[in-house]
Chains A and B, each alone.
Chain A
Amino acid sequence: MAPSPPPPPSPRDSPLLYGLALVANGPAKFGLTLLDPTSGAAVVVGGAHSTLFGEGDLVALDGARGLLYYLGDSPRGATLVALNTSDGGEVCSAAVALREVGFVGLGQTLSFDAATDTLVLSGLVAIVANGSAPSHAVYRAPARGGCGPFSLVGSFGAAAFVPTLHSSSLDADGQRLFVTLATSKTAAAIGVVDLSPPRRARAGWPSSPRALPAQTTRY
């Protein structure tokens, strides 16, 4: 008797993955993508969205509301977009007060904070007063299915240089935001940003990432 085939993976073993894919070029457009990690199947759902996206982690899923947010670039500047995960339609988009420096999303972060039911954005401040040091700003907005409005909740430094490879993660329970930083032209680090009240921010850098590649990395 042949052995029984293994049972299909449970949803918990194989959670549904979402993604963003480049679906058109000239001009570039992006589409919500559903992926099956057990088969590698991938399908674009809904239409193409013209807000540009920079390859990386500037996406955040609000699973309860069925929204995938992404932070990109449009003629309005840094732009937050929410897509409906069931049909790929655009729910909202709004410009946000983050400075753009050369590449889409560089130096920016986007997180969904399930502990406070808010969206958290950070990035270089849009305007730096003459003579003042550049800094990062942190904003929050209630996650009510919209794209703001965002309120400034704090700032942190280490913004004179920006790592070309940028990523972040949020500790919702501990209210800490972790971000890659460049502490000089050649040194990179991980910043630990305290998001808890009172609204202060601190950053440390216990890391020293190596060279910062772009796109696909060979090893």
Chain B
Amino acid sequence: MAVVAEGPAGANDTLLSLHWDPRAQRLIGVVAATTTLQLHSLDPSGGGAWGAPRALSGVPANWNALGGNAATASAFDAPSRRLFLLAGHDDPASGDVAFDLATIDVDSASVVMHPPLAPVGMPGCNSCLEALAV
């Protein structure tokens, strides 16, 4: 086992949901920042080189939640450059979560569509979808 030194901790060198982008030769993923969502990327070659975080455009103002353990329930379709994830609004008063099925264009770092996720699974359930694959 070879060991590459760990980089400094910080918000910019974080990737919680991993997707390999074969075109860019980087790991990518959506990360929750203080007030918005960011697309993070890492070149895992050598010691690892982090890209500058890119704030996602088109994020609805009321989103405050990522589904699936910080977007680990997500899927990346490399040919179409689309990353799919669950994001939405978590009402702290009621505890109800209303998720959208979000599509991210990873090249422009933008939310291109986010229709509400239809209830699926247990009756009336908005958070029963536990994985995505494409």
Contacts and interface: CB of A to CB of B under 8 A. Distances in A.
A54 B69 CA distance: 10
A204 B2 contact: yes
B44 A209 contact: no
B16 interface: yes
Contacts, number: 226
A55 B68 contact: yes
B60 to A, nearest CB: 13
Interface string A175-193: 0101110010001011010
A197 interface: no
A20 interface: yes
Q: Is the interface of A mostly helix, strand, loop or mixed?
A: loop
Contact of B18 (A15, A19, A168, A214): A168
Interface in B1-51: 1-11, 13-20, 22, 27, 32-34, 37, 42, 44, 47-48, 50
Given A20-B130, A22-B130, A190-B15, 8 more contacts: A17-B134, A167-B18, A172-B22, A206-B44, A208-B9, A210-B14, A217-B66, A217-B70
A204 B5 CA distance: 7
Interface of A: 12-25, 30-31, 33, 35, 37-44, 53-61, 68, 70, 156-157, 165-173, 176, 178-180, 183, 187, 189-190, 192, 201-210, 213-219
By size class, the interface of chain B is 35 or more
Contact of A44 (B5, B20, B115, B120): B120
A205 B66 CA distance: 25
Contacts of A204: 2-4, 44, 47-48
A6 to B, nearest CB: 12
B20 A169 contact: yes
